[in-house]
Structure 1
Amino acid sequence: MRSFLWTGSNRSGHAKVSWAQVCKPTEEGGLGIRSVLLMNQALILKQVWRILQEDPRSIWVAWVLRHRLRHQTVWTFNVASAPWLWKKLIKICSLLKDGLVYRLAMEPHSPRVSWHKLLGGKFKIPRHDFILWLAVLGRLTTMDRLWAPNLDRRCVLCGGLAMESHSHLFFDCSFARRCLVVLKQGVRFPWLHRGWEQDVLWASRRWRGKHLLNAAYRALFASIVYGIWA
């Protein structure tokens, strides 16, 4: 997933989705992946807090107080001659002074999105949900988002009848519509194309909840989007 979103560590290219977006809760349109930076800071601050509290149950805290701080505090300790790891720990202490916990609590949240209900469920296939997530965000690498001299941006699926874009692929494209017709005939898939954004809104309202049939329709919808893109 890292290489797909950010082209890998050894190649240049634009990221499809920002890390901030990825780390948002699913209800806010993210993947709910925890920020490694915040987790690391939280774990270090937990140890700092134990030092500040002079935790009597911790042998490590007792050692730090006696052999490292030597009756000083983390605020007055001179880190010039301290080991590298200790310097990092003391540096993190500045986050407490800056009111990190308060700032995190007061940080504005993104608005909830209804379409997050389309992701997941009993029949979910992660790679299908992932492509659907990118499609809803409009972050797939469609031709209309590419800029290069003499680039043919026409859709190859329908013989170049229109420019390839998210709204065209899902499901203005004649090829995509034929796929839907076959699907509707085979499994009675309840679908009426209204335009991509309206389709997503309708599906997220219609197929919500844990009902087995709704979960199957959500998985089927994700597989259609994945199949057209892949």
Structure 2
Amino acid sequence: MLFCHADGKSLSILLEPLGKFQNWFGLKMNHAKSNIFFGGISKEDIDKLRDIAKIDEGKLPIRYLGVPLVSIELSIDDCQPLIEKILGSELNYNKTKVAWDVVCLPKDKGGLVIMRSSDWNKAAILRHLWNLANKDKYSIWVEWTYKVLLKGKNVWEIDIPNDCSWCWRDILKLRDVARKHIRVDIGNGENCSLWFESWHHLGPIARRWPASNSQALLELKNSVLNPPRGGEDKVILGNGVHGTFSIKKAWDTTRRRNSKVDWYNIVWYHHHIPKHAILVWVAILGIIQDATCRLCNSATESLDHLFFSCSFTNEIWSRLMRRCSLNPAQGD
């Protein structure tokens, strides 16, 4: 934002450095996206200054992407222009170029490591199941839940009540996910349910208990890999060995898995330029289908074409050589 007096001389002084900057660096001010504001002068003076600046007069409040830049709370009507631009552009979900599941993967797995809010929320809810499985005696919420909601039953065995709160319902719904990632390392067995908790490497025994005196029962008995170690039972998340919990670890444990891509270092090397890396990432995923050169629109884009054969590139080389007083070699 630039300020000056409302007269032709001051305005010319203000615009002169912008012209020099354009000549030096080739970066030109976009007049279509610029506005000029006036105050305390006549309509005749405004018209004269607009002719000098060649910029349209703006109106307050100043807007960016159609949204007013004000300090007060924005209404839905204020944001409507931005919403319409999003819904009418390539950002429309109906025109998504890359699947959201791919975008949310880590970079070394082919994604952009954007964390999906639903996955992060799932990891946060897992903390409640972890605390219940751990029977945290220092948590008032755990004590209250066992006495009021569970009424002495195991959190893994109860059905979802029809009249429970939405938050308790969400916690219970996540038990199938939690069973795959939360297990118990048996110590003295006092705080672990033999039937319903995942102390066995195959999962809860209640879900796979075979008929009595059967070969399957004998195999299940022999599959108990480690005898109780003594001491307190330890609740473990994922493949770890320590009885600690973090939402980040829960997210990493439960998120979608994918194999490491072999082009990771080509795109995301140490000093990569983000804009260029994104373009290469999109190209590797096969999103860019048109290989036509965007500079001349007349040939297939390749390294030789971009640096030597393109008419746009030839013009740049010619100007550079003239400034350096060099003559092109014959045939070049």
Q: TM-score, normalised by structure 2?
A: 0.39
Alignment of 1:73-222 (within 5 A): 73-74=154-155, 75-97=157-179, 99=180, 109-119=258-268, 121-122=270-271, 124-140=272-288, 142-143=289-290, 157-159=295-297, 161-162=298-299, 168-171=300-303, 172=305, 174-175=309-310, 178=313, 182=317
Change (3 A) 1:34 1:170: farther
1:107-152 deviation per Cα after TM superposition (whole angstroms, max 9, x unaligned): 8632432343432534x44333222321232323x547xxxxxxxx
Q: How many residues of Structure 1 are paired with residues of Structure 2 in the alignment?
A: 159
* Aligned-residue offset at 1:158: 2.3
Q: Is the CA contact 2:105–2:111 (under 8 Å) kept in the aligned structure 1? A: yes
**Whole-angstrom distance in 1 between the partners of 2:311 and 2:139:** 63
Change (3 A) 1:35 1:89: same
Q: Name 2:95's counterpart in structure 1.
A: 14
1:72 aligns with 2:72: no
Q: Is the CA contact 2:295–2:312 (under 8 Å) kept in the aligned structure 1? A: no
Q: 1:27 aligns with which of 108, 131, 135?
A: 108
**Whole-angstrom distance in 1 between the partners of 2:281 and 2:259:** 16
**Whole-angstrom distance in 1 between the partners of 2:268 and 2:177:** 36
Q: Which has the higher helix share?
A: 1
Q: Counterpart amino acid of 1:63?
A: W
Q: Is the CA contact 2:129–2:178 (under 8 Å) kept in the aligned structure 1? A: no
* Aligned-residue offset at 1:58: 1.4
> Where does the alignment leave 5 or more consecutive residues of structure 2 unmatched?
1-85, 182-237, 240-252, 322-332
**Whole-angstrom distance in 2 between the partners of 1:176 and 1:136:** 27
Change (3 A) 1:22 1:108: closer
* RMSD (Å) for aligned C-alpha atoms: 3.7
Change (3 A) 1:41 1:68: same
Identity among equivalent positions (%) equals 25
Q: Is the CA contact 2:160–2:169 (under 8 Å) kept in the aligned structure 1? A: no
**Whole-angstrom distance in 2 between the partners of 1:132 and 1:32:** 16
Q: Counterpart amino acid of 1:157?
A: L
Q: Is the CA contact 1:69–1:77 (under 8 Å) kept in the aligned structure 2? A: no
Change (3 A) 1:7 1:63: farther
Change (3 A) 1:31 1:65: same
**Whole-angstrom distance in 2 between the partners of 1:34 and 1:85:** 22
Q: Is the CA contact 1:44–1:89 (under 8 Å) kept in the aligned structure 2? A: yes
Change (3 A) 1:28 1:177: farther
1:184-222 deviation per Cα after TM superposition (whole angstroms, max 9, x unaligned): x89xxxxxxxxxxxxxxxxxxxxxxxxxxxxxxxxxxxx
1:150-188 deviation per Cα after TM superposition (whole angstroms, max 9, x unaligned): xxxx656324x34xxxxx334445439828x85xx89xx
Q: Is the CA contact 1:7–1:15 (under 8 Å) kept in the aligned structure 2? A: yes
Q: Is the CA contact 1:26–1:116 (under 8 Å) kept in the aligned structure 2? A: no
Change (3 A) 1:42 1:176: farther
Change (3 A) 1:35 1:176: farther
Change (3 A) 1:12 1:91: closer
SS in 2 for 1:88: helix
Q: Counterpart amino acid of 2:141?
A: W
**Whole-angstrom distance in 1 between the partners of 2:259 and 2:105:** 8
Q: Counterpart amino acid of 2:178?
A: L
Q: Counterpart amino acid of 1:137?
A: L
SS in 2 for 1:56: coil
Q: Name 2:221's counterpart in structure 1.
A: none
